[in-house]
């Protein structure tokens, strides 16, 4: 969905480095999510935010942190990257809990 953008699209980094992935949306949605995709495992939820003051852990939050700088921006940080964090990362947004989630194009992260 072009209304949900992610930067960078590709990133190669080394073990121990701090990395930030950014997500912006122009859909006016209040809810934002971060997922990671690994081959054969589907998508797993890392963190989600229902508004600027509401941040919640997902099923695989260890090693990650997030920041909701504004309604339209939701960043994911890896404080000290490790190789098993190599994956495809997706941001998603929705208007309400019952609504469809719309996904960004993804960030392919490689940790050497």
Pairing of strands 10-13, 107-111: parallel
Residue number, 1 or 22, with CB nearest to other proteins: 1
CA dist 26 and 16 (Å) reads 33
Map residues 33-62 to x or -, x wherever contact with other proteins holds by CB under 8 A.
x------xxxxxx--x-x-------x----
Which burial class, exposed, middle or buried, applies to 84 when counting CB atoms under 10 A from its CB (0-12, 13-18, 19+)? exposed
* End-to-end Cα distance, the chain: 30
- Reduce the DSSP state of residue 84 to 3 states and report it: helix
Closest to other proteins by CB, 55 vs 102, is 102
94 touches other proteins (CB under 8 A): yes
- Applying CB under 8 A, among 24, 31, 68, 78 the residue interacting with other proteins is 31
Residues that bind other proteins in the complex, under the rule CB under 8 A: 1, 4, 31, 33, 40-45, 48, 50, 58, 90, 92, 94, 96-98, 100-106
């Amino acid at each position: 969905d072009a209304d949900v953008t992610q930067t960078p699209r590709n990133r190669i980094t080394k073990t121990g480095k701090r990395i930030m992935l950014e997500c912006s949306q122009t859909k006016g949605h209040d809810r934002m999510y971060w997922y990671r995709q690994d081959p054969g495992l589907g998508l797993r939820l890392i963190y989600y935010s229902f508004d600027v003051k509401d941040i919640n852990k997902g099923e695989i939050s260890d090693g990650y942190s997030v920041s909701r700088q504004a309604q339209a921006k939701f960043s994911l940080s890896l404080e000290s990257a490790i190789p098993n964090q190599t994956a495809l990362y997706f941001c998603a947004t929705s208007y309400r809990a019952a609504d469809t989630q719309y996904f960004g194009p993804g960030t392919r992260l490689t940790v050497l």
